Amino acid sequence: MTLEEIKAAVEEGHKVYWVGDDYEVVGSGDNLLINCLHNNYAIGLTWQDGVTMNGKPEDFFIGHVWGPFENARFTGEPHRRCQVPGCRAITLDGDDEE
């Protein structure tokens, strides 16, 4: 994701992560941080120049936002679908983890 895509996604309320779901991008506007969810340590999303990111663009991603449980049309198995536009992820075990 580019810096602009990350900023837009966070502003739209999406959860954006770096490398894995242990590092979440938090904040707003130009004050975005990469926060470690285990120890609450954070670094700026960008260097002081506001352009150079602390991380490769390809390592950032939007996390899943799971919808309500549904039953599969043919099998009747319960599942949830990701509600992020364009995402086709489905969880079958009900714990929302991939």
Q: Return d(Cα 46, Cα 8) in angstroms, integer.
A: 15
Phi, psi dihedrals of residue 48, rounded to the nearest 5°? -65, -20
Compare 36 and 72 and report the one with higher pLDDT.
Answer: 36
Tokens of 22: 């242990």
- Where along the chain do its domains lie? 3-62, 64-98
Compare 60 and 92 and report the one with higher pLDDT.
Answer: 60
Q: Return d(Cα 28, Cα 7) in angstroms, integer.
A: 8
Q: What is the pLDDT of residues 26-67, one digit of tens each?
A: 998 889 999 999 999 999 999 999 999 999 999 999 988 777
Tokens of 77: 């198995």
Instruction: Please give the model's pTM, rounded to 2 decimal places.
Output: 0.72
C-beta separation of 61 from 98 below 8 A = no
Q: pLDDT at position 88, please? A: 77
**Chain position carrying tokens 């506001």:** 50
Whether pLDDT at 96 is above 70: no
